[in-house]
Amino acid sequence: MRSQALTLHDFALLDDDDCEARIIAAKQQLGRRCIILGHHYQRDEVFRHADVTGDSLKLSREAARSEAEYIVFCGVHFMAEVADILSRPEQTVILPDLAAGCSMADMATLVNVERCWRELSEVMDTDLQVTPVTYINSAADLKAFCGRHNGIVCTSSNAGTILEWSFARREKVLFFPDQHLGRNTGYRMGIPLDEMVVWDFDKPLGGLSEEEIRRAKIILWKGFCSVHQMFRPQQIDDFLARYPETRVIAHPEAPFEVCEKADYVGSTETILKTVREAEPNTRWLVATELNLVNRLREECKSQGKNVHFMSPTVCMCSTMFRTDPQHVAWILENLVENKVVNRIMVPEDEAGFARLALNNMLNV
Ligand code: 13P
Ligand code: SF4
């Protein structure tokens, strides 16, 4: 095959149509040996090649049950790590662009979380009183931290159930890295805002007093998603003033004031399902990433549904966007040649504890 000699740099010079044809041809050759998992925020040119699409929970379940030899994850780094942790040893997980990270996941590091745990231990008995809960948008070493401390992982679609699981075991939760998912979920469970405090990892004792920590039910890490923090309650008010019949739906990574004004709050998969199953001729204002909203708008047009993006400015996930047809064609053609590039491998000492925390979630 002529492509054998092509480097990533050569692929970068190819246009999208060329890559499209190469991806289709390589997929045909690989057949069932390879599965492509695609997150809903992937751009169209990549998304259309996914064998399975979904939110983080659905894709992690898919990775755990897949029979394929190669799992190509069109998503971001933490998702590929989860796939590697949950897959069998003989399977190989590939991330087409290794620079596809998640800025929110980067806001919590093991060093900072361990320091937080040590400082909390000076105020209370953390092992008896606190369950560490990490959002799946976090590095594998943080999932391992949760595994070591009898904690658990959650996603945007099961955060409520996971918090219930946690409170059934211990009275407090340390929730990282996304403060918004933690706050939005806790509040919907009936926890008052003043019993959820924010831990500022740049300050001693998180910038909190011992009394504030003792009173708190949930200690929220000071992390956020740079895409979802762009949505504002004023954008909802302005839109409703023009189209009062609109239904508002938001991802729980959006700020509290936005989720409070929304009619529905849910994961990417829930957003798609809710709008798809709504009656025809309805109008929707959606607070999540632009690629998903644009696809949903096109899909729903034929049912007379109007789907609008909440923010007046473009907010795409720039790291999801890094996975382009050029990278996908490059990794697939290498697989056809039995060459694995951009493999994601979590070291087994870390993976073991991370698997504990992930399985706690999957078993709930
Ligand atoms: P979902 O699990 O809802 O797809 O969310 C993943 C994510 O990264 C949202 O920003
Ligand atoms: Fe991370 Fe936000 Fe991108 Fe999701 S949308 S992958 S949370 S940066």
Tell me how crowded residue 63 is: count the other CB atoms within 10 A of its CB: 24
247 and 182 within one domain = no
Ligand nearest the Cα of residue 60 is: 1
Q: What is the pTM of this model?
A: 0.96
Q: Are residues 263 and 198 in the same domain?
A: no
Distance (Å, whole) CA 349 – CA 3: 38
| 257: pLDDT strictly greater than 80 | yes
Q: Tell me which residue range forms the domain holding 83.
A: 3-101+319-345
**Residue 42 belongs to some domain of the structure:** yes
Whether 222 and 203 have beta carbons less than 8 Å apart is answered as no
Answer yes or no: do 177 and 277 share one domain.
Answer: no
In this prediction, residue 199 carries a pLDDT of 98
Please answer whether residues 256 and 183 qualify as being in contact, where contact means their C-beta atoms are separated by less than 8 angstroms: yes
Pair (220, 289) in one structural domain: no
Q: What is the pLDDT of residue 24?
A: 98
Q: Is the pLDDT of residue 266 over 80?
A: yes
The tokens for 93 are 């997980």
pLDDT for residue 164 is more than 50: yes
DSSP-assigned beta bridge partners for residue 196:
218
**How many other CB atoms are there within 10 angstroms of residue 258's CB atom?**
27
pLDDT at 4: 53
What residues have CB less than 8 Å from 106, skipping those under 6 apart?
Answer: none
Q: Which two tokens stand for residue 163?
A: 């918090």
Angle CA 155–160–162, to nearest 5:
65
In a domain, 352, yes or no: no
pLDDT for residue 180? 98
178 close to ligand 1 (CB < 6 Angstrom): no
The CATH number that applies at residue 289 is 3.40.50.10800
Least confident of 52-61, 145-154, 250-259: 52-61
Cβ–ligand 1 contact at 84 (below 6 Å): no
Scanning the structure block, which residue is given the tokens 């057949």?
A: 31
Instruction: Fill in the DSSP letter of residue 233.
Output: H
Q: For ligand 1, is residue 155 a contact (CB within 6 Å)?
A: yes
Domain stop point among 226, 257, 274: 226
Position 1 scores a pLDDT of 47
Whether the pLDDT of residue 3 is over 70: the answer is no
The reply to whether 214 and 124 lie within a common domain is: yes
Q: Is the CB of 156 under 6 A from ligand 1?
A: yes
Q: Are residues 208 and 129 in the same domain?
A: yes
Would you say residue 350 lies in a domain? no
Per-residue model confidence as pLDDT tens digits over 63-103:
889 999 999 999 999 999 999 999 999 999 999 999 999 99
Are 210 and 156 members of one domain? Answer: yes
Average pLDDT over residues 214-237: 98
**Going by CA atoms, what residue is nearest to atom 1 of ligand 2?**
102
Mean pLDDT of the chain: 96
47, 53, 55, 286, best to mutate for ligand 1 pocket (most atoms within 8 Å of CB)? 55
Say yes or no: 120 and 172 in one domain: yes
Residue 312 CA, distance from chain mean position: 23
Q: Could you tell me the distance, in angstroms and rounded to a whole number, from the CA of residue 170 to the centre of ligand 1? A: 27
What backbone torsions phi and psi does residue 132 show, to the nearest 5 degrees? -80, 130
How many domains, in total, are found in the chain?
Answer: 3
Q: Specify the residue with its C-alpha closest to ligand 1, atom 1.
A: 55
Q: Tokens in use for 170?
A: 């211990």
pLDDT in tens, 314-345: 889 999 999 999 999 999 999 999 999 999 99
Do residues 180 and 76 share a domain?
Answer: no
Distance of CA 103 to the CA centre of its chain: 11
* pLDDT value of position 277: 98
Residue 298 is predicted with a pLDDT of: 98
Residue 111 has pLDDT above 80, yes or no: yes
Asked whether 253 lines ligand 1 (CB < 6 A), one says: yes
353 falls within a domain: no
What CATH code is carried by the domain that includes residue 151?
A: 3.40.50
The sheet with strand 196-199 has its strands ordered as: 152-154, 130-135, 172-176, 218-221, 196-199
Pocket of ligand 2, candidates 181, 231, 271, 317: which has the most ligand atoms within 8 Å of its Cβ, to mutate? Answer: 317
pLDDT tens sequence across 288-315: 999 999 999 999 999 999 999 999 988 8
pLDDT tens digits, 167-179: 999 999 999 999 9
Q: What is the pLDDT of residues 24-70, one digit of tens each?
A: 999 999 999 999 999 999 999 999 999 999 999 899 889 889 999 99
pLDDT reported for residue 5: 65
Dihedral of CA atoms 354, 139, 69, 20 in degrees, nearest 10, equals 160
> Does residue 27 belong to any structural domain of this protein?
yes
Question: Ligand 1 centre from 156 Cα, in Å?
Answer: 6
120 and 217 within one domain? yes
Identify whether residues 152 and 206 lie together within a single domain. Answer: yes
Strand 130-135 and strand 92-94: pairing?
unpaired
Ligand 1 atom closest to residue 317's alpha carbon, by position in its atom list: 10
- Residue 182 domain-assigned (yes or no): yes
Q: Tell me the helices (H) and strands (E) count for the chain, helix number first.
A: 17, 13
Residues 142 and 217 in one domain: yes
Rg (CA), the chain: 21
pLDDT at 279 over 60: yes
In this predicted structure, what is the pLDDT of residue 314? 83
Is 197 domain-assigned? yes
**Ligand number with the minimum distance to the CA of 323:** 2
Q: What is the mean pLDDT of residues 155-184?
A: 98
Substitution candidate for ligand 2 out of 42, 43, 134, 225 with most atoms within 8 A of CB: 225
Domain contains 356: no
d(CA 175, CA 183): 9
Confidence band for 351, pLDDT divided at 50, 70 and 90: very high
Looking at ligand 1, which residue's alpha carbon is closest to its atom 8?
A: 137
CB of 137 shorter than 6 A to ligand 2:
yes
**Percent of the chain beyond pLDDT 90?**
96
pLDDT of 315:
81
